Amino acid sequence: MTMTKSGASSLLGMDREELAALTTEAGQPRYRARQIAEAVYRQRVESLAEISTLPLEFRERLERSGFTVGAARIEKKFVSGDGTVRYLMGLGDGQTVETVWMPEGDGGEAGDGSEAGAEAESSLSASGAEALLEESELIAALKRCATQNPVVQNAPAKKRARGVGRSTICISSQVGCAVDCQSCLTALLGAKRNLTAGEIVGQVCAVLKDQQVSPPQDRINLVFMGMGEPFLNYENFVKASLLLVECVGIAERRMTVSTAGIVPRIHDFGEETIRPKLAISLNASNDALRTRLMPLNKKWNLQMLIAAARDFPLRTREWITFEYVLLGSVNDEPENAKEVAELLRGLRCKVNLIALNPGPGIDFTTPSEARVAAFQKILRDAGIPAFVRRPRGRDIYAACGQLKRTVEGSTSASQPVQGISALPAS
């Protein structure tokens, strides 16, 4: 049972066994549990009254017992010029978190050996993005880099049966964040509290309903890269992953979790039966620089982090992603790129390069495209597959590192703060 701050019991967040126990305790047949799961996770109802498959008496009993669906509430939504949507989600205790819908993704899955990665590569190629390696070059680079199962099958993306493909939802795992990365706006909020598994899954259900899409018919990618550090809310994150696979219908190979480097949890994560793909925020090429940019490096330094990555039990055609936020004249020098290449040598991995997404209170600058390209080339030449993640929703504070529940302004790489126009919640 998932208890919210208000004391109500939320059906969102209950797994199949918990729902079966609930219905059995109420004297109902076990198939009622399947009906509840179908209504909550697939039909995405928002109230007990909408679960029409349940007898009225049972619904009333649930309500008297303090049960609610626990659906996330979309308080505001901001739409970018590139189609990205940033949602401000209201929680039961009055707190809010942010969730982002990217209709064509941001290329973050490219090169990871999965079906989603192949689709991202196809999308980047179609858009003419310079970040994409030519297929022959990509395969050669991956073979040079790999230490396990080095051959990668880059199968062509399947033709979509419906209108939505390669869309990505970026979800939050905490209200605020305690990691204090210096280039991230979320860090300015500090840590408020963990989200429950139901609150994590509820974000996904709310966005799917608002966008009128439904997996697995629609190919939805999911990234735990919103507000918070998922591995500091480990149990709820793991349970949410299970619910997203078994109840919502999103394949684990289409999910990626990003950690700032909580080393003990990386070891734990490798033992999970159901787990998304792993991404690690690197952001620096040596300990002194990483400690400056990511204070948690004082506890788990690069030697410990890279050792955990080398020990991580990768599945067939699975690759670890290292994310590297490029800060102008701070960590984007050629020497930094050479140090990164040496750190990752022999690892079955690829690197996503992210040019800083600006925001008030962040004392760094966005590097030029030329510096980004030069950094990428050094990594490629060293045999490390490197991709440039394209910024999505930068004008509405929806891009990587910009989530701070902002409602008063928007920004771009070259423009001052401007007014945001919010759409009413639907």
Active site amino acids = 98, 400
What is d(CA 312, CA 385) in angstroms, rounded to the nearest whole number?
19
Q: What's the half-sphere exposure (Cβ side, CA atoms, 13 Å) at 245?
A: 15
What does the DSSP 8-state code read for residue 28? Answer: -
Class of residue 63 by CB neighbours under 10 A (exposed 0-12, middle 13-18, buried 19+):
middle
Rg (CA), the chain: 21
How many whole angstroms separate alpha carbon 120 and alpha carbon 67? 41
How does 90-106 read in b/e, with b if 16+ C-beta sit within 10 Å?
bbbeebbbbbbbbbbbb
| Token representation of residue 279 | 């991404």
* Closest by Cα among 406, 327, 341 to 371: 327
Contact 6, 199 (CB under 8 A): no
Give CA separation, 264 vs 56, 79, 241, 278, in Å: 48, 38, 19, 14
Q: Which among 92, 77, 78, 83 has a CA at the least distance from the CA of 2?
A: 92
Asked if residue 70 lies in contact with residue 11, where contact means CB atoms within 8 angstroms, the answer is yes
Interatomic CA distance for residues 376 and 383, integer angstroms: 11
A 10 A CB-CB count for 377 gives 13
